[in-house]
């Protein structure tokens, strides 16, 4: 299959991974995997791995395991999953195991330790593996049986996805962040608008974003149904990876004449903070409109792989300084990794939050997925910096979750109802 036009970033990376000159959307390729990641879900990989007769992992140095959803184990079932992974890592000779005490949300572990670099094909047993596409890689979530094959062979067949290009221009206004941008994009593309597609972010606004901001945007590409979300690598990427990259980079960018299935143009000039209302991440409205409805909250969550990096926690702490959590509100703060926890300890961020009445937890997925802590009761309302607000996501299916930026959730914790962070700037 020879295209008559240039290649998108996803197409170029999958061509490299499959040893092809070019690929086209819909083509099935067998790609060489550069990095494989497993978390607790990866325990379901061990059985199929042995059943297929695998005798050794294809490259132990290219496999990362991170305990992140139930840390420390909060149920007997979680403890069993952890034990399966520990035993497998020991028997298979896998040295890169981030166990309790060195742990973090799996995607953050990969990001802050340089495990994924430009040009990579990276796969993980979590749907938000898309986040690592911010490195200029094809990063995607896969199932446990697929991961078993990857562990044994180092290869995976994939269908080349068509690409949606999102071009963004304009400057963010006060208290408007990358989270607000990706919520607005979700409002445009919807949760089904990029099913099994690559979403490639570009334009002057994207070029001006830091790596943490790019992580936030690519992370929530998952909520669009996408196979992967990506930003072409540039000097920001290279500077971020300069001291931490674990293996050689293969940077590439889209061709000027690349063909996109759809192009979405957005201008953020004058855009207010945004919020995704129950019960879908694409039910997006301007935050000021929701503020006028005076929606009281029971719980506030600052955390998740979307927004729990040190930059997010610093921003939240700056707003929280000298304030108190509103009466009747439970405020949970969970950093994305143990190293971020330690940084918060050094900078006094933990003290700022706890003095205000928040609970600052160890690093984990925490309240995000409704399976470990901060579980919501029926009819409770939560403001969250996480990525999903489907029914039952954080506990009871009748609970209501509003997704917003770290600054907005802190403002909400202070006021006790959905609030605009510009009130406290």
Model confidence pLDDT, tens digit, residues 187-212: 999 999 999 999 999 999 999 999 99
Q: 58 and 45 in contact (C-beta within 8 Å)?
A: no
- pLDDT greater than 80 at residue 4: no
Q: 199 and 166 in contact (C-beta within 8 Å)?
A: yes
2 assigned to some structural domain: no
Q: What span, in angstroms and rounded, lies between the C-alpha atoms of 86 and 187?
A: 41
Is residue 212 classed as helix, strand or coil in its secondary structure?
helix
Residues 206 and 184 in one domain: yes
Q: 141 and 125 in contact (C-beta within 8 Å)?
A: yes
Establish whether the linkage from the previous residue to 148 is cis, with ω within 30° of 0: no
Q: What is the pLDDT of residues 291-340, one digit of tens each?
A: 999 999 999 999 999 999 999 999 999 999 999 999 999 999 999 999 99
Q: Which structural domain, as residue segments, surrounds residue 199?
A: 9-265
Residues 152 and 195 in one domain: yes
Residues 171 and 240 in one domain: yes
95 assigned to some structural domain: yes
Number of domains in the chain: 2
Q: In terms of Cα–Cα distance, which of 69, 57, 63 is closest to 96? A: 63
Q: What is the pLDDT of residues 329-345, one digit of tens each?
A: 999 999 999 999 999 99
**Start-to-end C-alpha separation, the chain:** 55
Q: Which two tokens stand for residue 150?
A: 């990857």
Q: What span, in angstroms and rounded, lies between the C-alpha atoms of 110 and 65?
A: 10
Last residue of a domain, one of 218, 248, 265: 265
Residue 317's CB is within 10 A of a number of other CB atoms, namely: 23
CATH number at residue 340: 3.30.499.10
**β-strands 284-286, 274-276 pairing:** antiparallel
Instruction: Indicate whether this model's pTM tops 0.95.
Output: yes
Residues 301 and 191 in one domain: no
Backbone angles phi, psi at 135, to 5 degrees: -80, 0
Residues 61-91, buried b or exposed e (16+ Cβ, 10 A)? ebbbbbbbbbbebeeeebeebbebbbebbee
């Amino acid at each position: 299959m020879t295209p008559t036009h240039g290649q998108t970033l996803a197409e170029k990376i999958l061509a490299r991974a499959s040893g092809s000159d070019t690929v086209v959307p819909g083509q099935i390729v067998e790609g060489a995997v550069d990095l494989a990641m497993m978390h607790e879900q990866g325990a379901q990989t061990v059985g199929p791995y042995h059943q297929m007769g695998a005798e050794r992992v294809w490259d132990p140095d290219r496999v990362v395991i991170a305990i992140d959803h139930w840390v420390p184990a909060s149920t007997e079932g979680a403890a069993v999953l952890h034990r399966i992974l520990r035993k497998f890592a020991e028997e298979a000779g896998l040295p890169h195991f981030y166990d309790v005490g060195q742990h973090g949300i799996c995607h953050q572990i990969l990001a802050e330790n340089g495990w994924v670099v430009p040009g990579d094909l990276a796969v993980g047993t979590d749907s938000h593996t898309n986040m690592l596409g911010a490195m200029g890689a094809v990063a995607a979530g896969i199932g446990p049986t697929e991961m078993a094959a990857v562990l044994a062979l180092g290869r995976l067949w994939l269908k080349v996805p068509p690409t949606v290009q999102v071009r963004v221009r304009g400057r963010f206004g006060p208290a408007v962040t990358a989270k607000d941008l990706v919520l607005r994009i979700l409002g445009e593309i919807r949760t089904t608008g990029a099913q099994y597609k690559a979403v490639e972010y570009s334009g002057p606004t994207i070029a001006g974003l830091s790596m943490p901001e790019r992580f936030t945007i690519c992370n929530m590409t998952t909520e669009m149904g996408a196979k992967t979300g990506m930003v072409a690598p540039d000097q920001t990427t290279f500077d971020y990876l300069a001291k931490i990259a674990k293996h050689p980079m293969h940077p590439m960018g889209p061709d000027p004449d690349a063909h996109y299935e759809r192009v979405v143009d957005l201008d953020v000039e004058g855009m207010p903070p945004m919020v995704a209302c129950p019960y879908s991440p694409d039910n997006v409205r301007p935050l000021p409109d929701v503020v006028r409805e005076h929606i009281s909250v029971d719980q506030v969550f600052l955390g998740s792989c979307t927004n729990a990096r040190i930059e997010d926690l610093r921003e939240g702490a700056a707003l929280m300084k000298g304030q108190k959590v509103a009466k009747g509100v439970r405020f949970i703060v969970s950093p994305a990794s143990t190293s971020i926890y330690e940084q918060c300890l050094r900078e006094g961020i933990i003290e700022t939050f706890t003095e205000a009445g928040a609970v600052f937890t160890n690093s984990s997925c925490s309240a995000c997925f409704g399976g470990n802590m901060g579980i919501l009761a029926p009819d409770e309302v939560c403001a969250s910096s996480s990525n999903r607000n489907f029914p039952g996501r954080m506990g009871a299916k009748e609970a209501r979750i509003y997704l917003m930026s770290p600054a907005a959730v802190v403002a909400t914790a202070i006021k006790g109802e959905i609030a605009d962070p510009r009130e406290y700037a």
